[in-house]
Amino acid sequence: MNPARKFCTNDRGKKQKEPGPHRRLIMHIDMDAFFAAVEEAHLPVLKGKPVIIGGPADGRGVVTTCSYEARKYGVHSAMSSAEAIKLCPQGIFIHTSAYKYSHASLEIMKILSEFSPQVEPFSVDEAFLDITNTANRYGGPANLAMEVKRRIWDSQKLTASIGIAAIRFVAKMASGVHKPDGLTIIEPGREKEFLWPQPIGKLWGVGPKSEVAFNKLGIKTIGDLANYPKAKMKKYFGVVGESLSDMANGIGEDEVRFTDGDSDDKSMGHEHTFDEDVINPDRILGMLLYLSDKVSRRLRMGGYKGRTITLKLKYSDLKLITRARTIFKNTDCANTIYETARYLLEKNRFTERPIRLIGVSVASLEKIEFELQQDLLEPPSLRADRVDEVIDYLRDKFGEHSIRFARTQLKY
């Protein structure tokens, strides 16, 4: 069956009602086994086989992702490649190819922008859309979602799973219910019915360590958390506990934080949430350099340069802080992005408190049609962008993890 035509409703197999007209409609789209699927689209002979994306099994490689066929053997992301090959000896290992994935991602985002002016790329293979004002043009959100699936399949030969709800995090959770190639719509007012039976570990924001802590309190399901005294949640887990309690009761944001792609404010960025709050400056700066490097490479792949560098931080109390600085000249240089973000970090003394999340982005982007003439007074061997070009070449040839800055080798 053409994957674009597959329609997954609720677990009872009955078509769900469309959400009411007076609530915001948020769609979350999550590409299925994205990296592996892109490789299969480029090389169809891989279809139906256990494809594993990551480092080589004979070294210290790590699985980035894998096809659903490989997952049947117990292979999963973040697993060592050596362990993966033991579980799945017939697995086909492929080095990551950032150019392929970035190109496919950009094409998918272009398609999504045709269905809503409010698109928020959440990662390379995920995005939120506000379809409140566009769903009716397609005969309702379900029809819109199916058309999105069809367009992506026709363009990229990739499938996606979609969740639609009135609340942002519920839409994200819904997209994961019927993978791969699923569609799940949660009617406004039925959030608790959807959330409460699920294990507490399924709640967005609850990691393995938090799940263990909740289990010790007798909280096994999201419903258990919803009915647990909120005051005690705050006592045990602080502001995070309060926030999770609200989420368990179906309370959350209904906004899509989008950027107008035609404005000067469009940006590219990456962020990282630490497993535990971090105050060690070396770990923080190492991650900042790693993120700056990723943003730099993504800019060059897209042919963009920008002038405004933004640092994003979140502390354990979930307080979000951003600081930005506009530099004199457009850049796609990893070192320039890093040094500017580091300046913002140290100037504002942000490392004096444990950090939960850190991110960096570059805005005020301009498409580079041609390279400006090289400064004749600056020796080519000393130019930072030449270093980036060499790094790009090595990564394109040998894989994304073939070369890194020394500081980014720290474990996170």
> Which residues carry out catalysis?
126
Q: Reduced to 3 states, what is the DSSP secondary structure of residue 127?
A: strand
353: tokens are 């408190």
CB 161 within 8 A of CB 176: yes
Please state the three-class secondary structure of 12-68 as a single string.
Answer: CCCCCCCCCCCCCCEEEEEECCHHHHHHHHHCHHHCCCCEEEECCCCCCCEEEEECH
305: tokens are 């340069």
The helix (run of H) or strand (run of E) holding residue 161 is strand 160-165
CB 226 within 8 A of CB 265: no
Q: Which residue has 């504002």 as its token pair?
A: 348
The 8-class DSSP code of residue 78 comes to: T
* Pairing mode of beta strands 183-185, 160-165: parallel
**345/322 Cα distance (integer angstroms):** 10
255: tokens are 């906004």
For the chain, what's the residue count?
A: 412
240: tokens are 């995070």
Q: Which residue has 């892109």 as its token pair?
A: 38
The 8-class DSSP code of residue 262 comes to: T
CB 112 within 8 A of CB 119: yes
**DSSP labels for 335-349?**
HHHHHHHHHHHHHTT
* Pairing mode of beta strands 126-130, 26-31: antiparallel
Handedness of CA 241, 245, 251, 254 (dihedral sign): positive
Of the candidates 68, 62, 77, 74, the one whose C-alpha atom is nearest the C-alpha of residue 47 is 68
* Pairing mode of beta strands 92-94, 268-278: unpaired
